[in-house]
Amino acid sequence: MNKVQGNVIVQFVVNKDGSVGEVKVVRSVDNDLDREAIRVIKSLPKFTPGRQNGKAVNVWYTLPVPFKLK
C-alpha cells in the first residue's frame, strides 16, 4: 500500500440538469489518489445548477480533495 498523502486538485462541470459532467485532475499527487478523487466527484449527488439571466447554465468548479494518513 502506498503511503502517499496530499491534495488532488480536481475540476468538474455541473451540467444544466445538476449532474456532474467532465471531471479532470488539475494537480496530481499519485495515480491511485487521482482515480479515487475522480470516483468520489463522479459519485456526488445532483447539484442545483448555476443560473445566468434566469436560465440554467453549465458551471466549472475547482475543488481540492485532501488525502491524509492517519
Judge whether residue 6 has pLDDT over 90. Answer: yes
Mean residue pLDDT of the chain comes to 94
Residue type at 58? N
Report the pLDDT value the prediction gives residue 70, as an integer from 0 to 100: 82
| Domain enclosing residue 57, as ranges | 6-67
Tens digits of residue pLDDT in 24-39? 999 999 999 999 999 9
Burial of 10 (0-12, 13-18, 19+ CB in 10 A): buried
Count of domains forming the chain: 1
Q: What is the pTM (predicted TM-score) of this model? A: 0.87
Tens digits of residue pLDDT in 33-70? 999 999 999 999 999 999 999 999 999 999 999 999 88
Residue 1 domain-assigned (yes or no): no
